[in-house]
Amino acid sequence: MKAAVEIADGNLEAAALLYDMAALQPTERSRFGYKRAAKAIVGLAVPVADLVAAGSLRDVPYVGPSSAKIITEFVATGASATVEAAVAKSGKRGDVDSRQGLRDGYLSHAILAQALATPAEPGVVSKADYRGDFQMHSTWSDGTETIARMVDGAIGLGHACLGITDHSYGLPIARGMSMEQAARQWAEIDRLNTQLHPRFRVFKGIEANILVDGDLDVRPEERVLFDFVVASPHSLLRRSEDQTRRMINAVAGPGVAILGHPRGRMFNTRPGISADWDSVFAEAARRGVAIELDGNWHRQDIDYLLATRALAAGCLFALDSDAHAIEELRFSDYAIAHARLAGIPAERVVNCWSDDRLQDWMRERRGQPESSAKRAGARRVSPSPPKPRRRARA
Ligand SMILES: [Zn+2]
């Protein structure tokens, strides 16, 4: 199952009709009803058409008679006369049409399951290749769990490492960490790593905030104190102007390892950044910066459609959950599903690398030379992608 063009996702389309219907409702209560039904449909493990055929649609929690009618119409005709009539009556055709573009490339759970289960070409990343997740948040910023609990969650998923990436101090709205707090966090991670070694490894990351000009809120001399830096946009995500320069500057900034949720889009509500992504990807590939496929369901950023272009550009990839709670660690599955649909080889995915290889790559990203022991020993084999030649930066 490989898709360079948008794949048909009936569950997502059925849910989209319910979201449209929700947006036309006069009361919060009826809006909530349709939205809750829509969520249930995108969360289904099977195609909604199968449930309609089996007569069991109404068994799905939160799918009431009004939602069931719309879904049944969709399965029969590919559209919903009920929603059509409501849109026509509302005079909000423009609003409804504009939201369609805010769902492009998103996957429902049923398609995710299919993408994970369907055999792919040899070498394409699978769940079995995946060792650890490199974007997640703990109680040190806006997460709900301690690092130790997130480690337990990751071990429960069969992972062997993770990167903690709490928000940086430039994002107070997400309770970003000061550098003093970061130092205390590192001491906690060191203690955990001592306990967990050699079964599991926690890498010290930070999610730095990309500023208007593409610089980061974390200074270059602070970035190198972390194992790795994820640079992510959290502002100007609704502008239609081109932001290519901003994103290239972010990727080219000293010490950046991962470009996190590159677009900053949000399902059904926010388009995210407009940019010449091929230029951004070319810069990332040249520097060995990984492009993130953020698996948070509402983000799915970047999706398989754009990831296909990043793959062609020669990029590395990070497939992350962006979890803020233990149960959200499973969002890494969405990132893996998008990567499989884009045909990304495990070799290009940093989450599949050994701790040693990760450590080397992170050190390179920090602009620090390899240790003398490493230089003297065997060089690691790294067939692809092309590595940046320069080492001394910052
Ligand atoms: Zn973020």
CATH code of 100's domain: 1.10.150
For residue 384, being part of any structural domain is answered with: no
Tokens representing 5? 């063009």
For residue 145, being part of any structural domain is answered with: yes
For residue 196, being part of any structural domain is answered with: yes
Q: How many other CB atoms sit within 10 Å of the CB of residue 388?
A: 13
**Pair 216, 159 in one domain:** yes
Total number of domains constituting the chain: 2
Task: Tell me how far the alpha carbon of residue 373 lies from the centroid of ligand 1, in angstroms.
Answer: 36
Domain that holds residue 19: 10-115
Task: Tell me how far the alpha carbon of residue 214 lies from the centroid of ligand 1, in angstroms.
Answer: 15
Which CATH number does the domain housing residue 259 bear? Answer: 3.20.20.140
Low-confidence ranges of the chain (pLDDT < 70): 1-4, 369-394
For residue 388, being part of any structural domain is answered with: no
Q: What's the pLDDT score for residue 368?
A: 76
Residue ranges in 141-202 assigned as alpha helix (H): 147-156, 179-196
Task: Tell me how far the alpha carbon of residue 49 lies from the centroid of ligand 1, in angstroms.
Answer: 35
Task: Tell me how far the alpha carbon of residue 390 lies from the centroid of ligand 1, in angstroms.
Answer: 29
**Pair 312, 366 in one domain:** yes
Task: Tell me how far the alpha carbon of residue 261 lies from the centroid of ligand 1, in angstroms.
Answer: 7
Task: Tell me how far the alpha carbon of residue 26 lies from the centroid of ligand 1, in angstroms.
Answer: 33
Task: Tell me how far the alpha carbon of residue 385 lies from the centroid of ligand 1, in angstroms.
Answer: 26
Q: What's the pLDDT score for residue 381?
A: 40
Task: Tell me how far the alpha carbon of residue 326 lies from the centroid of ligand 1, in angstroms.
Answer: 17
**Pair 256, 358 in one domain:** yes
**Pair 110, 178 in one domain:** no
Q: What's the pLDDT score for residue 246?
A: 98
Q: What's the pLDDT score for residue 359?
A: 97
Give the integer Cα–Cα distance in Å for 80 and 342: 31
**Pair 28, 98 in one domain:** yes
One-letter identity of residue 176 = G
**Pair 164, 110 in one domain:** no
**Pair 92, 150 in one domain:** no
CB contact at 8 A, 335 and 319:
yes
Question: Pick from 59, 80, 115: which residue ends a domain?
Answer: 115
Give the integer Cα–Cα distance in Å for 310 and 302: 9
**Pair 150, 41 in one domain:** no
Q: What's the pLDDT score for residue 391?
A: 39
Task: Tell me how far the alpha carbon of residue 195 lies from the centroid of ligand 1, in angstroms.
Answer: 29
**Pair 274, 247 in one domain:** yes
**Pair 145, 292 in one domain:** yes
Q: What's the pLDDT score for residue 4?
A: 62
**Pair 135, 103 in one domain:** no
Q: What's the pLDDT score for residue 369?
A: 65
For residue 173, being part of any structural domain is answered with: yes
Task: Tell me how far the alpha carbon of residue 232 lies from the centroid of ligand 1, in angstroms.
Answer: 6
Task: Tell me how far the alpha carbon of residue 366 lies from the centroid of ligand 1, in angstroms.
Answer: 20
**Pair 359, 231 in one domain:** yes
For residue 182, being part of any structural domain is answered with: yes
| First-to-last C-alpha distance (Å) of the chain | 42
pLDDT > 70 fraction of the chain, expressed in percent and rounded: 92
Q: What's the pLDDT score for residue 173?
A: 83
